[in-house]
Amino acid sequence: MLLFYAITTLHVIVCFILVLVVLLQSGKGADLAGAFGGGSTQTAFGSRGPASFLSKLTTIAAIIFMLTSIGLSLISTQKASKSVLEGTAEETVVPESSAADEEVSDDTDLTPEQIRRKVEELESKRQEQSDPEGSIPAPESESP
């Protein structure tokens, strides 16, 4: 992690240096006197010296900029991205099965008669569950 911050800091510094070096350079004939054929230059470092010094500095800064860019891209792809769900404990939820489901799933080779009995048992259990009080249905009234 320290390497990432060190390369990032170097990258930002090189970016500023690169911008400044490029802005300090003047193009050929960028002077007003150059447009009219004047031969004298009014640069801070003289006529030939700064061009080679600034061009070398630009080349070095560009190479360092490219290397730090590649280094940062390699480091960022090696980082394992973590999801929010990876931090939680893995718990598998098993749905509760009813006793009727277990009875049916235990028997694999049933005859048609056994299946009919099981279905009748399940229907009677479901009726008991839906009518727990055991209330007796009202008798049908006979109409004259």
Question: Per residue in 118-136, pLDDT tens?
Answer: 999 999 888 888 776 655 5
Whether residue 71 contacts residue 8, with contact meaning beta carbons closer than 8 Å, is answered with no
Instruction: Give 101-111 pLDDT, tens digit per residue.
Output: 555 555 567 78
Instruction: Give 38-75 pLDDT, tens digit per residue.
Output: 555 555 555 555 567 888 999 999 999 999 999 999 98
Helix, strand, coil percentages (3-state) for the chain, rounded to 5, are 60, 0, 40
Residue type, 81: S
